[in-house]
Amino acid sequence: MKLVIQDLQKTFDKKVVLSGASFTFEKGKIYGLLGRNGAGKTTFFNCINEDLKADSGSFAIEENDSLRPVTAEDIGYVLSTPVVPEFLTGREFLKFFIDINQHKITNPQSIDEYFELVKIESEDRDKLLKDYSHGMKNKMQMLVNFIASPGILLLDEPLTSFDVVVADEMKQLLRRIKPEHIIIFSTHIMELALDLCDEIIILNEGILEKIEKENLDNTAFKDKIIAALRGNEND
C-alpha cells in the first residue's frame, strides 16, 4: 500500500501554505515530516484527513498497481492537542470506542490489555478523562487509533507532552506496529526524527522534499536544514 500525494496546494487569503506538495509514502515505514513552526505541517495533515479542502492537487491510495480514493477508515489522526470526551472515565471511553468499532478491530483484546499497551496505571483507568494529564490524554488518543488500526497514521507532534521514559515507550510501540502502516510523524525536532524515523521529509516553502539521512552527517548540509526549520509562527 502507498499514499500518493500529487501537487497538493492550499492558500489562506494571500498566504501560500502548500504550493505543489508531492510525495509517495509506503507502508512499513515511519516518515519524519520536519518543518519549522508555521511551515504547514498541520495544514498538510488536515488536507489529507479532509478537515480542510485542498485548493488543488490529489491524494489517493495505491494498491495492486491501481489508485483508489482515501476513505475516513484509512486514516488515523493524532492531534497535537488531544481531544477526548472528558465526561467519561478512561475505561468507559475505551469500551464505547470498542463497541462502535468492533466490526473493524482485528485481534481484539481486553480493555485492561489495551491500557497496558500504553502504560496507563490501574488506579487511573476509572478516573474521568478530565482529570487526566495532557500526556495521559495524548496516550488515550493514540491508543484508540492503535486499536482501530487504520492503514495511515498521521501523528502531529505526538510525543512533545510525554516525559523521556513515556516518549521512549511510545517510540517502541510505533516501531512495533509500523510493518502494517504508513506512519507520518510531524515534528520540528530534527533529533527526534533521526532517532525514530526511517525517512526524513522536509516541508519548506510549501514543498515536500526527501532528505537522505546520511547527508545529515555533513555539517554544511545539516546547517542548511536547520536554517529551513527556523521560524516562530504557529502551524
Model confidence pLDDT, tens digit, residues 113-141? 999 988 899 999 999 999 998 889 988 99
- The radius of gyration computed from the CA coordinates of the chain, to the nearest angstrom, equals 18
Q: Give every CB contact of residue 119 below 8 A, 6+ residues apart in sequence.
A: 139, 166, 169
Sign of the CA dihedral running 117, 188, 152, 43 = positive
Classify domain 2-79+150-234 at the CATH superfamily level: P-loop containing nucleotide triphosphate hydrolases (3.40.50.300)
Q: Given this model, what pLDDT does residue 229 score?
A: 63
Q: What is the value of pTM for the model shown? A: 0.87
Q: Given this model, what pLDDT does residue 47 score?
A: 95
Q: Give every CB contact of residue 221 below 8 A, 6+ residues apart in sequence.
A: 215
Q: What is the CA 79 to chain-centroid distance, rounded?
A: 8
Place of cell 526527501: 210
* Confidence tier at 233 by pLDDT (50, 70, 90): very low
Q: Given this model, what pLDDT does residue 235 score?
A: 47
Place of cell 492537487: 57
Model confidence pLDDT, tens digit, residues 159-203? 776 777 778 888 888 998 899 999 999 987 777 888 889 999 989
Domain ranges of the chain: 2-79+150-234
CA distances to 33, 103, 126, 151, 162 from 147, in Å: 23, 12, 19, 12, 20
The CB density around residue 129, as the number of other CB atoms within 10 Å, is 18
* Confidence tier at 226 by pLDDT (50, 70, 90): low
Q: Given this model, what pLDDT does residue 227 score?
A: 65
Q: What is the CA 100 to chain-centroid distance, rounded?
A: 23
Place of cell 509500523: 178
